[in-house]
Amino acid sequence: MRQKDKVLNWIDENEDKVITLLQDMLQIASVNPWFEDDTYPTKEKNIQAYLKNYLENMGFETQLWEPDAAKLAKYEGRAGYYAGRDFTDRPNLLGTIKGNGTGNSVLLTGHVDVVKAGEGWTKAPFGGEVEDGKIYGRGAADMKGGIAAMIMAVQAIQAADVKLDGDVFIGTVADEEAGGMGTLALADFLKENDLLADACILTEATSLNIAPISRGILWGRLIIEGRSGHIEMPQGDWRTGGAVDAIDKMHLYLDQFKRLNADWAVKKVHSLLPIPCQINIAQVNAGEYPTSFANHGEIIFNAQYLPHERDELRMGGKVKQEISDFVSQVAKLDPWLAEHPPVIEWLVDADCAETNKNHPFVRNMAASLREINEYPMLEGICAHTDMGWFVNVGMPTINFGPGEPRIAHQVDEYIPIDELIRATKALAMAILNWCGYERA
Ligand SMILES: [Zn+2]
């Protein structure tokens, strides 16, 4: 039998092992402490201890460490850096299996933290229940399914007694769901210790699409000043002391953002992304009580950006400037706003990255999918993923994993078992093809 067929057969015959590994991981409630979930205050250390043990039993050399924010201060102002972030009981884990040194190396990576379960589940959020071909639990799609698939892909190669030429690294990080500093810490660790791989797969849920790009995300708060005054009484001109309705001024911005979006819908497109970059309004807050014009209004928006729009820090500075300029231009249309220009507070800048779709590693993934009779779909992720730091330190990176991205963060989060198995097979083939192996 072909060595690759042995690997694939092992996966088919050991579906239960893949399922059990994922269930074990789902039953460890690794809620990111940013969510202050009192029911599950476990942080990330228990799942990392579980994975360390699992990888060591497979023959991986492991390193487990709590990142130190102070040592990462050189990244001040860069994506994913948060001064003073506390990593107590929140370790990163790196497992290494050496090949014979003649092949390409690969890093398989993902985050072990999850968002809080929230209300409304019909399944146990940390139960790992199986029903109708699906495994349920917080993190099933985002992204413990992807981590189970990467580990089982390596286990299948070992079980089929295939020796890899290149090194395989498995890196699992804390703290993705609240900023991405765990990934920054892993990328820094790899760089400082000369452990950079020739390529990297971040197994975030992509429905088995190959996603060589993710978008940058800006959150901003546009603050619009008005002047309160009795809403039932005549007010007269604001220049003579009359009230100014902040809500009325917000209308202007809501309309103008639509115009900007129409412009962006033509300009800010990418051939691998299904939708253009937009400024989406996420929250509108204004007004104090029913008898007064609003003294103050806030529009909280989410704007996306593309890798070619990044500034010298590989972040969204240029797009922030573009939005600020637009806000200033709009203010000139209105005498009150011209004299009381709105202010933008920037809340989040989550970076983006791209690996050329013709890079050999992207082609390697596509060829590996074809080998298991899957049609390789190339489609970027419209949201942010942590691929940026892996690319920044020099590793071509793709996102590829099981599960539907939109299921992430929902109640009754699940992963179809069939997709988990297909991902395991695809990853096993990708590792074999990329790293090379000794022919029997
Ligand atoms: Zn995720």
- Mean pLDDT within 235-256: 96
The per-residue pLDDT for 97 is 98
Question: Phi and psi for 163 in degrees, rounded to 5?
Answer: -95, 125
Give me the percent of the chain exceeding a pLDDT of 70. Answer: 100
Neighbours of ion ligand 1 (CB under 5 A): 142-143, 204
C-alpha 93/C-alpha 186 separation (Å) is 8
Assess whether pLDDT exceeds 80 at residue 136. Answer: yes
C-alpha 27/C-alpha 136 separation (Å) is 10
* d(CA 216, ligand 1 centre) in Å: 15
CATH 3.30.70.360 domain residues, the chain: 216-350
Assess whether pLDDT exceeds 80 at residue 422. Answer: yes
For residue 239, the tally of other CB atoms under 10 A from its CB is 9
- Mean pLDDT within 90-94: 97
The per-residue pLDDT for 36 is 82
- Mean pLDDT within 155-173: 98
Assess whether pLDDT exceeds 80 at residue 41. Answer: no
The per-residue pLDDT for 179 is 85
The per-residue pLDDT for 151 is 98
Structure tokens at 287: 């007004």
Does the pTM of the predicted model rise above 0.95? no
DSSP structural state of residue 122: S
Assess whether pLDDT exceeds 80 at residue 394. Answer: yes
* d(CA 207, ligand 1 centre) in Å: 13
List, for residues 58-78, the tens digit of each pLDDT value: 999 999 999 999 999 999 999
Assess whether pLDDT exceeds 90 at residue 440. Answer: no
* d(CA 352, ligand 1 centre) in Å: 14
* d(CA 236, ligand 1 centre) in Å: 53
For residue 112, the tally of other CB atoms under 10 A from its CB is 29
The per-residue pLDDT for 39 is 78
Architecture of the structural domain at 216-350: 2-Layer Sandwich (3.30)
Q: Confirm if 272 and 357 have CB atoms less than 8 A apart.
A: yes
The whole-chain average pLDDT of the chain stands at: 96
- Mean pLDDT within 305-318: 96
* d(CA 383, ligand 1 centre) in Å: 10
Structure tokens at 229: 């005054």
Q: Report whether CATH 3.40.50.1000 matches the domain 3-213+353-435.
A: no
- Mean pLDDT within 123-132: 96
Assess whether pLDDT exceeds 80 at residue 49. Answer: yes
The per-residue pLDDT for 281 is 96
* d(CA 214, ligand 1 centre) in Å: 12
The per-residue pLDDT for 344 is 98
CATH 3.40.630.10 domain residues, the chain: 3-213+353-435
pLDDT band at 212 (very low <50, low <70, confident <90, very high): very high
Q: How far apart are the first and last CA of the chain?
A: 10
The per-residue pLDDT for 383 is 93
pLDDT band at 106 (very low <50, low <70, confident <90, very high): very high
* d(CA 80, ligand 1 centre) in Å: 14
